[in-house]
A and B are shown apart, each in its own frame.
Chain A
Amino acid sequence: MILGARAVSKAFFGNPVLRDVSIELLPGRIHALLGENGAGKSTLINLLSGTLAPDRGALVTDGRSVPALSPRDARRLGIAVVQQELSLAPHLSIAENIGLGVAPRRFGLVDYRRLATLVAEVSAQVGLTEPPHTPVGKLPLGRRQVVEIAKALARRPRVLILDEPTSSLAAPDVSMLLALVQRLRAQGVAILYISHRLNEIFGFCEHVTVLKDGTVTADRPLAGLDPLGLVRLMVGRDPQDLFPAYRSTASEEVVLQADEFRTVGAAGVDVTLRRGEILGIGGLVGHGQEAFLLGLGGAVPARAARFQIRTAEHVRTAPFASVAQANAAGIAYIPADRKKEGLLLPHPIAFNLLLPSFAHDRMRRRRRAQERTITQALAQRFGIRGDLLRPVQALSGGNQQKVALAKWMPLAPAILLLNDPTRGVDVDTKREIYLALRAMAAEGKAVVLLSTDTPELVHLCDRVMVFHNGRVATTLAHSDATEEAIVAAALGLPEHASMTEAAA
């Protein structure tokens, strides 16, 4: 074994991300790492490449066991990572980026002559034809990914970790990469390959490790597995009674209808939203779901062939030009990043709860008594306990999320857009949030729930729209919305209907 992890665990702020995970990378083997969003893949890569240290467990390099690696150790051991979030400096040239941290030196200076030779060599291997003095920021995203690959090669890797390398590559570069990976395997490089594209996994990987909720559900040769089997290993959770019993409160009354809705990152979306309905939005991160939600909420420019909002008080026929307009029309957007976008952390809970209400006419002047009535009612309804004058950052993540949600209630929104409301939230609070969402739907609000947690889509939602590559891959009714069907559609597998039958 050239590099491995032995029973490593890692938690962030008390949330376990990896639990007793072991993995072994062997020379000349292409090892696939699979898992849903948030399963712990990125954390595992960061442990193996020395950017994070495990809380427990050990890393193994060339048979030696160490508690953690530093980026320097990783470089010395020949561990190179092709990052998904690019590690490039846009104002430096292609050559300097490739040589960053490993450039040949002469008399303490960067030896640009030898650097040029090195760059020419790795550029030829990856088909990088741009002049090496070009600033990386001038390249399109796909070409930057090619530079990223060249940069990893310049480190003469014995272990190469590729984190979704093909997600931003153009088709010819994808075949270049696949050929390159095969060549490196032949040279005895150990390769860890992370991808959501199952055809690539089955194309050339030999061994697979599947992560689910931070634990390993499979560590075995790929032979004998089919795509459906892999999907099942990624999702098959134990049934939990985390979710309230499903009971639809959807009416026939349409509150929002859009045809050919488009925004930056999503296009051709047809959507109908009914009173009392919870509409789920699923898909892999970055496939247009968030853009769609932001477009509906007026936060990014959007267009639609036909657009209609018809709530009790508002009729509107064009997408919103601003968040304030959307709020005024009874639409509230609850962002995923509550610490940055949803709350003013150093300010009191009560102040955060009142913030959206200040835009209302009757609140133009501060009236303490009225404010107290509002905040106390909200705190009681959402179970926010303790002194409301404490700064909101004193609350746990889950209770912060309740504040971020509760603050919109005084505006009585007819449509709620929620972006991953249970991210980083503990189980008990999750259940409270689920109950609150169901209660709001029962009141007649329409709820759009974007979630990276597939079971939420399965158990809470009346319908689920699954995005793939900026478009709606499929819309599933509650009865068809199994985890397998959602994940399969998110991965772009064509026939979800037959999959659900096979999975049943």
Chain B
Amino acid sequence: MSTSAIRPLYWPIQWRRNEGLGALYIVLGAFVVLYVALFPGILAPGAVNKFVQGWFPTAMVAVAETIVMLTGGIDLAVGPMVSLGSVVAASTMQTPLGVFGAVLAVMALGAGTGTIVGAFVAIARYPAIIVTLAMSFIIRGTALLILPRPGGFVAPAFSDFLAGNHPTTIVLVLVLVMLWKLYQATPLGVGLIAVGDNAEGAYRSGVGVVSARMFAYAVSGVLQAMTGLYVAAQTGSGDPLIGEPLTLSAIAAAVLGGVSFLGGQGTLRGALAGSLLMSILINVMFFMDLPLVAQYVVQGLIIVITVALPRLRGARSHTA
């Protein structure tokens, strides 16, 4: 067979993996239209930037959760990890380490914690749900020990750079997408899906099952800790409890985005769309002056409906 007949392979593969997100895109599109109709002001350039800044932490943790869920695991320590990230950032930035040192410290924190969790799950084979539940207590406690109440120092220039009136966050989203595509093009990225899909088969095929899992937890940890750094820049301080709601948001966004609890199935595009839907939903309900309690109920209903839609359609096509 001549080489001219060989078609490019990577992008068609990535594209086919996102099949089945149609229902999510429809719901998301409907909410975007609703949002714009209710608040046309969102289309102003500055407003888009602000919206992206509000959405970015949810997007980051959704991606972090997706990576772990792809291996067939789950991470219940996402929120505390974000908090600890913000606390470490706010307490290192005023030391001689400076901004650069703080960024490095936060990354090392994320990678180190993720590797420890990964070792427990991949080598010692404890269930991820138990390991990360335990970790969530340890991390929360550590954050409270370092900084019992919100405070610390974040360099104003750093805050302005990340969360000011520059489109830095939009660039960061693009960087995130590109890094993901790079990850997916490595043997570890292919292994990530293979391990969640069919761990036994992957092992027999010579995939490094342990390294694929551990790397996934480490990457996820870095993303979570970096989210903490971003949140610290946004608020101008470290807060040992600020990440708490993000654990469930991350899982909800991933599930909305078609990421399977069983592993092997899920995409970045889905996680981003899922987290975007959650952010828009919260904004719309906030602007509509719905009471907080009603917001929770509506969020839950949207999750159930979006997850159930493709299944209902699938069930009908099976019986037909």
Inter-chain contacts of A81 with B (CB < 8 A): 204
Chain B 258-302, CB-CB to A under 8 Å as 1, else 0, gives: 000000110000000000000000000000000000000000000
For the complex, give the distance between the alpha carbons of A485 and B42 in Å. 79
Let me know if A113 is at the binding interface, CB within 8 A.
yes
Inter-chain contacts of B7 with A (CB < 8 A): 116
Let me know if B123 is at the binding interface, CB within 8 A.
no
A85-142 interface (Cβ within 8 A of B) = 86-93, 95-96, 99-103, 105, 108-110, 112-113, 115-117, 119-121, 124, 131-135
Q: Contacts A88-B198, A113-B6 known; A134 to B16 CB distance under 8 Å?
A: yes
User: What residue in chain A is nearest B194 (Cβ atoms)?
Assistant: A89
Could you tell me the distance in whole angstroms from the C-beta of B53 to the nearest C-beta in chain A?
Answer: 32
For the complex, give the distance between the alpha carbons of A115 and B13 in Å. 12
Q: Contacts A72-B206, A131-B12 known; A89 to B197 CB distance under 8 Å?
A: yes
Q: In the complex, how many residues of chain A place their beta carbon closer than 8 angstroms to a beta carbon of chain B?
A: 41
Q: Residue B206 contacts which of A96, A101, A119, A134 (CB distance < 8 angstroms)?
A: A101
For the complex, give the distance between the alpha carbons of A115 and B10 in Å. 10
Chain B 113-131, CB-CB to A under 8 Å as 1, else 0, gives: 0000000000000000000
Residue of B5, B190, B207 with highest tally of chain A CB at under 10 A: B190
For the complex, give the distance between the alpha carbons of A117 and B2 in Å. 9
Let me know if A151 is at the binding interface, CB within 8 A.
yes
Could you tell me the distance in whole angstroms from the C-beta of B80 to the nearest C-beta in chain A?
Answer: 30
Could you tell me the distance in whole angstroms from the C-beta of A165 to the nearest C-beta in chain B?
Answer: 16
Q: Residue B198 contacts which of A71, A89, A134 (CB distance < 8 angstroms)?
A: A89
Let me know if B200 is at the binding interface, CB within 8 A.
yes
Could you tell me the distance in whole angstroms from the C-beta of B264 to the nearest C-beta in chain A?
Answer: 5
Would A103 and B187 count as touching, CB distance under 8 A?
A: yes
Would B9 and A132 count as touching, CB distance under 8 A?
A: yes
Q: Residue A91 contacts which of B6, B15, B207, B264 (CB distance < 8 angstroms)?
A: B264
Q: Residue A93 contacts which of B8, B13, B202 (CB distance < 8 angstroms)?
A: B13
Inter-chain contacts of B12 with A (CB < 8 A): 131, 133
Inter-chain contacts of B187 with A (CB < 8 A): 103, 105, 110
State the majority secondary structure of interface residues on B. helix
For the complex, give the distance between the alpha carbons of A57 and B197 in Å. 34
B163-198 interface (Cβ within 8 A of A) = 182, 185-187, 189-190, 193-194, 197-198
For the complex, give the distance between the alpha carbons of A380 and B231 in Å. 68
Let me know if B137 is at the binding interface, CB within 8 A.
no
Could you tell me the distance in whole angstroms from the C-beta of B193 to the nearest C-beta in chain A?
Answer: 6
Would B185 and A100 count as touching, CB distance under 8 A?
A: no
Q: Residue A89 contacts which of B5, B8, B264 (CB distance < 8 angstroms)?
A: B264
Chain B 125-147, CB-CB to A under 8 Å as 1, else 0, gives: 00000000000000000000000
Would A91 and B265 count as touching, CB distance under 8 A?
A: yes
Could you tell me the distance in whole angstroms from the C-beta of B294 to the nearest C-beta in chain A?
Answer: 37
Inter-chain contacts of A232 with B (CB < 8 A): none
User: What residue in chain A is nearest B260 (Cβ atoms)?
Assistant: A91
Would B13 and A71 count as touching, CB distance under 8 A?
A: no
Could you tell me the distance in whole angstroms from the C-beta of B260 to the nearest C-beta in chain A?
Answer: 9
Q: Contacts A89-B197, A121-B1 known; A108 to B265 CB distance under 8 Å?
A: no
For the complex, give the distance between the alpha carbons of A93 and B200 in Å. 18
Q: Residue B193 contacts which of A72, A92, A132 (CB distance < 8 angstroms)?
A: A92
Q: Residue B16 contacts which of A51, A120, A133 (CB distance < 8 angstroms)?
A: A133
Would A88 and B201 count as touching, CB distance under 8 A?
A: yes
For the complex, give the distance between the alpha carbons of A113 and B6 in Å. 8
For the complex, give the distance between the alpha carbons of A90 and B5 in Å. 26
Inter-chain contacts of A308 with B (CB < 8 A): none
Would B6 and A116 count as touching, CB distance under 8 A?
A: yes
Would A92 and B197 count as touching, CB distance under 8 A?
A: yes
Would B205 and A151 count as touching, CB distance under 8 A?
A: yes
Could you tell me the distance in whole angstroms from the C-beta of B255 to the nearest C-beta in chain A?
Answer: 16
Let me know if B3 is at the binding interface, CB within 8 A.
yes
User: What residue in chain B is nearest A81 (Cβ atoms)?
Assistant: B204
Could you tell me the distance in whole angstroms from the C-beta of B303 to the nearest C-beta in chain A?
Answer: 22
Let me know if B203 is at the binding interface, CB within 8 A.
yes
Would A87 and B198 count as touching, CB distance under 8 A?
A: yes
Inter-chain contacts of B198 with A (CB < 8 A): 86-90
Inter-chain contacts of B149 with A (CB < 8 A): none
Could you tell me the distance in whole angstroms from the C-beta of A483 to the nearest C-beta in chain B?
Answer: 33
Residue of B13, B16, B207, B264 with highest tally of chain A CB at under 10 A: B13
For the complex, give the distance between the alpha carbons of A71 and B3 in Å. 32
Could you tell me the distance in whole angstroms from the C-beta of A197 to the nearest C-beta in chain B?
Answer: 24
Let me know if A83 is at the binding interface, CB within 8 A.
yes
Would B6 and A71 count as touching, CB distance under 8 A?
A: no
Would B264 and A71 count as touching, CB distance under 8 A?
A: no
Inter-chain contacts of A112 with B (CB < 8 A): 8-10, 13, 185
Would B6 and A120 count as touching, CB distance under 8 A?
A: yes
Inter-chain contacts of A109 with B (CB < 8 A): 182, 185-186
Inter-chain contacts of A83 with B (CB < 8 A): 201, 204
For the complex, give the distance between the alpha carbons of A72 and B5 in Å. 33
Let me know if A75 is at the binding interface, CB within 8 A.
yes
For the complex, give the distance between the alpha carbons of A87 and B5 in Å. 28
For the complex, give the distance between the alpha carbons of A134 and B182 in Å. 21
Q: Contacts A89-B201, A91-B265 known; A100 to B186 CB distance under 8 Å?
A: no
Q: Residue B3 contacts which of A75, A117, A133 (CB distance < 8 angstroms)?
A: A117
For the complex, give the distance between the alpha carbons of A101 and B191 in Å. 8
User: What residue in chain B is nearest A111 (Cβ atoms)?
Assistant: B185
User: What residue in chain A is nearest B10 (Cβ atoms)?
Assistant: A112
For the complex, give the distance between the alpha carbons of A134 and B12 in Å. 9
Inter-chain contacts of A115 with B (CB < 8 A): 9
For the complex, give the distance between the alpha carbons of A121 and B264 in Å. 27
Would A102 and B206 count as touching, CB distance under 8 A?
A: yes
For the complex, give the distance between the alpha carbons of A17 and B19 in Å. 45
Could you tell me the distance in whole angstroms from the C-beta of A53 to the nearest C-beta in chain B?
Answer: 14
Q: Contacts A88-B201, A115-B9, A120-B5 known; A93 to B16 CB distance under 8 Å?
A: yes
Could you tell me the distance in whole angstroms from the C-beta of B181 to the nearest C-beta in chain A?
Answer: 10
Q: Residue B190 contacts which of A87, A92, A131, A135 (CB distance < 8 angstroms)?
A: A92
Inter-chain contacts of A86 with B (CB < 8 A): 198, 201
Inter-chain contacts of B189 with A (CB < 8 A): 110
Q: A75-B206, A115-B9, A117-B3 are in contact. List 20 more A-B contacts (CB 8 A).
A: A71-B205, A89-B202, A90-B197, A91-B264, A93-B17, A100-B206, A103-B187, A108-B186, A109-B185, A109-B186, A110-B190, A112-B8, A112-B10, A112-B185, A116-B6, A116-B7, A120-B5, A121-B1, A133-B9, A135-B16
Q: Which residues on B are within 8 Å of A, measured CB to CB?
A: 1, 3, 5-10, 12-13, 15-17, 19, 182, 185-187, 189-190, 193-194, 197-198, 200-207, 264-265
23 A-B residue pairs with CB within 8 Å: A51-B204, A71-B204, A71-B205, A71-B206, A81-B204, A86-B201, A87-B200, A89-B197, A89-B264, A91-B264, A92-B190, A92-B197, A93-B13, A100-B190, A101-B206, A102-B206, A109-B182, A109-B186, A112-B185, A113-B9, A116-B6, A133-B9, A134-B16
Q: Which residues on A are within 8 Å of B, measured CB to CB?
A: 49, 51, 71-72, 75, 81, 83, 86-93, 95-96, 99-103, 105, 108-110, 112-113, 115-117, 119-121, 124, 131-135, 151
Closest 5 CB pairs of A and B: A101-B206, A87-B201, A89-B197, A133-B12, A101-B205
